[in-house]
């Protein structure tokens, strides 16, 4: 590797830059270039059918400006533009955008393609960079300005003759980031002079990072410098179009918005040339997560992903910001614990801001209702396991029981090294606490409250039960101040190691006619070992007795 083969990118001289003190307060004018820049970078470009599908998705999402193609490039591109117009696929507040090189035959073909349209943005570009002037066009600065100006003059002429009611011009000094700033301004001023925009009929000047060549702060400086130096700022919409060669396309766009950009071009999930275009959904969701209306409908991200993947034949990465399959999922113990606690607090308080550790947005806002927020593997902890048992199966384990259940599940993940799905977790839990290889089991249980005067402190309960203990049927009788105490006294007759009850919790499950009570009991033996048991029954007394038996069995098992 020879880093000496590469030139340093020169920063902009802008010591009084203002953009670092600015904040973004509203969404930009969005323009989707999925059907053009996204499409031109695909191994298999979209056919008319797929473009139609993608177009309807973009329309559903609320894009008002859509670059629908490069109509002079191919039959599919031309036919698709015609279809949009002839089949009236646009709403009145939507504008199509079409791209063309500054070449006569291509401009004329572009106007044929938009014939009969109500309003269109004609987007013309030519590369202005030092490198392309030398190696591609082999022309000097003046000649490159001529290409742009001649193109714009022809568009003006075509627009006059065309039956399209409103033509908006967009000009891109392509490879802007490889162009001397003062020269980029000079060529844009020449284009503006040729087009003669007004405050009512603005021109769009698009300043693309065709190749991302610098840190995003440098791009922001370029945009601020440009906005401050252009002659008729009020008649110009400054648009940005970033690529992602250095992986900072989103950052570059956001800083450019601080620096004065009014409009943003990009694609869904950043599809586009090389490492892609700007990922507009990320910028939109970044706005959303700051309490700013993104002015796009992203409430069903799974639908957006499905259509995108079908049309582009590309995959959305599992870690893709906001959209990836794993981005709302925590495997690691401390994250799971914090998420569980955060969700518990959030769910108890209405009308609060979303503030849950490790989850910058509420996944359900973008339709991820059934997302597995917490998944269990060997990196997971007790908090996450308790979350799964509560959120998927309704068991609200007492906090003191979490370590015991955590250890039980972690024993399996440590052994197998694999992820456990909720059903597998539940099966292990169920086998341990409910489906026991019972040493002690309950066959019959009756309890009678002898003194029904509830005002009295000492209520007397008599229990009569039948159990099977080590394979033999035994009758159990006991009296106590409650069914558990009475039952405990009764089974003292059996050869069971002494224990004390140290923890008791109960809650109901399901509700309505199917309501079940769940009881959790912790027993400590003479060696100071605590083990929990769980019982479930429609009758709370029976649920408690079952929990007690479950705990005794777990003590005796080891
Ligand atoms: C950064 C971007 O994404 S820009 C958009 C790029 N997208 C595409 O190119 C997709 C669609 N393009 C195509 O299908 C084809 O390139 C066409 C139909 C537009 C043109 O096809 P062709 O004329 O056969 O070939 P090609 O693109 O190689 O033309 C290159 C010629 O155009 C000139 N040229 C390139 N861009 C421009 C421009 N924007 N304005 C004027 N002339 C240009 C080149 O200098 C070259 O000229 P030369 O023949 O004198 O050397
Ligand atoms: C056509 C232009 C705007 C482009 O796609 C780019 O420069 O990246
Ligand atoms: Mg591009």
Q: How far apart are CA 204 and CA 201, in angstroms?
A: 10
Nearest bound ligand to the CA of residue 272: 3
Query: What's residue 438's pLDDT?
Result: 81
Q: Is the pLDDT of residue 65 over 70?
A: yes
Nearest to 126 by CA among 173, 83, 85: 173
Whether 147 is in the pocket of ligand 1, judged by its Cβ within 6 Å, is yes
Contacts of 182 (CB under 8 A, 6+ apart): none
Whether 137 is in the pocket of ligand 1, judged by its Cβ within 6 Å, is yes
Nearest bound ligand to the CA of residue 266: 3
Residue nearest to ligand 1 atom 20, measured at CA: 73
In angstroms, what CA-CA distances link 338 with 1, 321, 332, 359, 368? 44, 21, 10, 10, 20
Q: Are 525 and 496 in contact (CB under 8 A)?
A: no
Mean pLDDT of 461-475: 95
Whether 250 is in the pocket of ligand 1, judged by its Cβ within 6 Å, is no
Give tens-digit pLDDT for 92-145: 999 999 999 999 999 999 999 999 999 999 999 999 999 999 999 999 999 999
Query: What's residue 159's pLDDT?
Result: 98
- ipTM comes to 0.98
454, burial (CB in 10 Å: exposed 0-12, middle 13-18, buried 19+): exposed
In the reported structure, the alpha carbon of residue 82 is separated from the centroid of ligand 2 by a whole-number distance in angstroms of 23
Whether 136 is in the pocket of ligand 1, judged by its Cβ within 6 Å, is yes
Query: What's residue 375's pLDDT?
Result: 87
Give tens-digit pLDDT for 404-463: 999 999 999 999 999 999 999 999 999 999 976 689 999 999 999 876 555 666 689 999
Q: Is the pLDDT of residue 371 over 80?
A: no
Q: What is the DSSP letter of 202?
A: P
Lowest-pLDDT range of 171-185, 320-334, 341-355: 341-355
Spell out which residues line ligand 2, taking CB within 6 angstroms. Answer: 37, 99, 125, 172, 174, 206, 208, 210, 241, 243
In the reported structure, the alpha carbon of residue 126 is separated from the centroid of ligand 1 by a whole-number distance in angstroms of 9
Q: How far apart are CA 271 and CA 237, in angstroms?
A: 24
The gap between the terminal CA atoms of the chain, to the nearest Å, is: 62
Nearest to 163 by CA among 227, 195, 214, 116: 116
Instruction: Report the atom number in ligand 2 closest to the C-alpha of 206.
Output: 3
Contacts of 411 (CB under 8 A, 6+ apart): none
Phi-psi label, residue 506: left if phi above 0, alpha if psi -120 to 50, beta otherwise: beta
Q: Is the pLDDT of residue 373 over 90?
A: no
What percent of the chain is modeled with pLDDT above 90? Answer: 90
Query: What's residue 85's pLDDT?
Result: 98
Q: How far apart are CA 123 and CA 216, in angstroms?
A: 25
Give tens-digit pLDDT for 315-339: 999 999 999 999 999 999 899 999 9
Give tens-digit pLDDT for 283-314: 999 999 999 999 999 999 999 999 999 999 99
In the reported structure, the alpha carbon of residue 252 is separated from the centroid of ligand 3 by a whole-number distance in angstroms of 14
Whether 77 is in the pocket of ligand 1, judged by its Cβ within 6 Å, is no
φ, ψ at 126 (rounded to 5°): -150, 145
Whether 210 is in the pocket of ligand 1, judged by its Cβ within 6 Å, is yes
Q: How far apart are CA 128 and CA 144, in angstroms?
A: 7
Query: What's residue 436's pLDDT?
Result: 63
Residue nearest to ligand 2 atom 8, measured at CA: 210
Out of 77, 101, 109, 244, give the residue to mutate to test ligand 1, the one with the largest number of ligand atoms within 8 Å of its CB. 101
Query: What's residue 510's pLDDT?
Result: 83
Instruction: Report the atom number in ligand 2 closest to the C-alpha of 211.
Output: 8
Query: Mapped to the 3 state alphabet, what secondary structure does 459-524 carry?
Result: CCEEEEEEEEECCEEEEEEEEECCHHHHHHHHHCCCCCCCEEEEEEEEEEECCHHHCEEEEEEEEE
Q: Is the pLDDT of residue 520 over 90?
A: yes
Q: Is the pLDDT of residue 539 over 90?
A: yes
In the reported structure, the alpha carbon of residue 293 is separated from the centroid of ligand 3 by a whole-number distance in angstroms of 26
């Amino acid at each position: 590797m020879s880093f000496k083969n590469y030139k340093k990118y020169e920063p902009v001289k802008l010591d009084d830059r203002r953009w670092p003190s600015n904040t973004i307060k509203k969404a930009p004018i969005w323009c989707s270039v999925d059907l053009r820049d996204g499409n031109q970078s695909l191994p298999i470009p979209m056919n008319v059918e797929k473009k139609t599908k993608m177009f309807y998705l973009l329309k559903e999402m609320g894009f008002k400006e859509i670059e629908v193609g490069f109509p002079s490039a191919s039959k599919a591109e031309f036919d698709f533009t015609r279809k949009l117009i002839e089949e009236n696929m646009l709403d009145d507040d939507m504008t199509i955008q079409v791209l063309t090189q500054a070449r006569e035959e291509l401009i004329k073909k572009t106007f044929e393609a938009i014939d009969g349209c109500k309003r269109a943005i004609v987007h013309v570009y030519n590369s202005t960079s030092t490198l392309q002037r030398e190696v591609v066009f082999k022309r000097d600065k003046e000649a490159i300005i001529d290409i742009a100006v001649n193109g714009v003059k022809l568009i003006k002429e075509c627009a006059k003759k065309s039956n399209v009611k409103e033509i908006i011009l967009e000009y891109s000094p392509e490879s802007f980031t490889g162009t001397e700033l003062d020269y980029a301004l000079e060529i844009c001023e020449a284009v503006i002079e040729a087009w003669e925009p007004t405050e009512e009929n603005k021109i769009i000047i698009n300043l693309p990072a065709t190749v991302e060549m610098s840190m995003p702060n440098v791009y922001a400086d370029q945009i601020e410098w440009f906005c401050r130096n252009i002659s008729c700022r009020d008649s110009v919409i400054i648009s940005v179009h970033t690529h992602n060669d250095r992986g900072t396309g989103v950052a570059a766009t956001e800083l450019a918005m601080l620096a004065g950009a009014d409009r943003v071009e990009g694609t869904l999930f950043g599809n586009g040339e090389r490492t892609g275009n700007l990922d507009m959904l990320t910028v939109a969701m970044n706005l959303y997560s700051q309490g700013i209306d993104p002015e796009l409908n992203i409430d069903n991200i799974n639908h957006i992903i499905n259509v995108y993947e079908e049309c582009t034949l590309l995959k959305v990465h599992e870690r893709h910001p906001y959209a990836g399959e794993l981005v709302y999922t925590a495997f690691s113990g401390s994250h799971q614990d914090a998420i569980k606690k955060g969700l518990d607090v959030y769910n108890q308080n209405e009308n609060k801001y979303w503030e849950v550790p490790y989850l910058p947005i509420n996944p359900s806002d973008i339709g991820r209702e059934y997302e597995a927020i917490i998944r269990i593997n060997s990196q997971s902890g007790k908090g996450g396991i308790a979350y799964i048992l509560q959120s998927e199966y309704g068991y609200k384990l007492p906090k003191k029981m979490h370590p015991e259940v955590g250890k039980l599940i972690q024993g399996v993940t440590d052994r197998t090294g694999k992820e456990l799905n909720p059903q597998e977790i539940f099966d292990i839990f169920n086998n341990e606490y409910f489906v026991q290889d019972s040493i002690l089991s309950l066959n019959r249980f009756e309890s009678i409250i002898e003194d029904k005067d509830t005002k009295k402190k000492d209520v007397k309960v008599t229990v009569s039960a039948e159990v099977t203990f080590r394979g033999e049927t035994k009758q159990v009788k006991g009296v106590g101040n409650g069914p558990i105490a009475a039952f405990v006294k009764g089974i003292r007759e059996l050869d069971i190691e002494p224990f004390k009850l140290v923890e008791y919790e109960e809650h109901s499950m399901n509700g309505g006619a199917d309501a079940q009570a769940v009881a959790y009991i912790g027993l400590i033996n003479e060696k100071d070992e605590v083990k929990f048991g769980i019982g479930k029954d429609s009758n709370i007394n029976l649920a408690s007795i079952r929990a007690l038996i479950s705990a005794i069995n777990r003590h005796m098992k080891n």
